[in-house]
């Protein structure tokens, strides 16, 4: 039986930590769908299309990984994708507490849903997209945290939004 999982997230922007989880998930599962979520409670810097493009740049070498997007309930999207497995990356204990609550909520919404947690590699355990955006906005280099194309896009986005040289 083929094992298919969905790795959902906002990926605004995708970081090396996300890419680490994607690569490792592609080894664990026969098919992995990286799905960019549209969360109405979060204001995103990049459009869904832009975020999908950034992820596709990396995953094109991973033949069993597909990039998609969704809005609405994740459990409904899982049904559409004909899977019941969610892949989530965990960096810290606080991540685990938050993700544990989400996993239990998803299981209440659909008792068939299973969440698989993957610990991020230690060099990415402190990374998050908000810190990356803040560093670029303030003129810092994030080349060790994101792929070169993502850093370039961040720099351009902040120049466009704020007219700053970053």
Active site residues: 18, 42, 91, 129
Dist. CA 63–CA 42, nearest whole Å: 31
Structure tokens at 50: 């832009």
- Classify residue 74 as left (phi > 0), alpha (psi -120 to 50) or beta: alpha
Q: For residue 33, give both structure tokens.
A: 């769908």
Three-state DSSP state, 82 = coil
Place of tokens 């606080």: 94
Angle between helices 148-162 and 129-137 (to 10 degrees): 60
């Amino acid at each position: 039986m083929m094992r298919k999982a969905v790795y959902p997230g906002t990926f605004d922007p995708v970081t090396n930590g996300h890419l680490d989880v994607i690569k490792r998930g592609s080894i664990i599962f026969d098919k992995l769908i990286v799905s960019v979520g549209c969360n109405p409670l979060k204001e995103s810097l990049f459009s869904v299309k832009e975020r999908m493009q950034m992820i596709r740049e990396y995953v094109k070498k991973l033949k069993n990984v597909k990039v998609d997007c969704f809005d609405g309930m994740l459990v409904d999207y899982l049904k559409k994708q004909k899977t019941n497995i969610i892949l989530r990356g965990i960096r810290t204990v606080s991540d685990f507490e938050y993700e544990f609550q989400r996993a239990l909520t998803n299981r209440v919404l659909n008792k068939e849903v299973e969440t698989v947690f993957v610990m991020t590699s230690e060099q990415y355990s402190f990374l998050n997209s908000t810190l990356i955006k803040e560093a670029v906005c303030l003129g810092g280099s994030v080349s060790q945290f994101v792929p070169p194309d993502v850093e370039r896009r961040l720099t351009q986005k902040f120049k466009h939004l704020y007219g700053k040289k970053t």
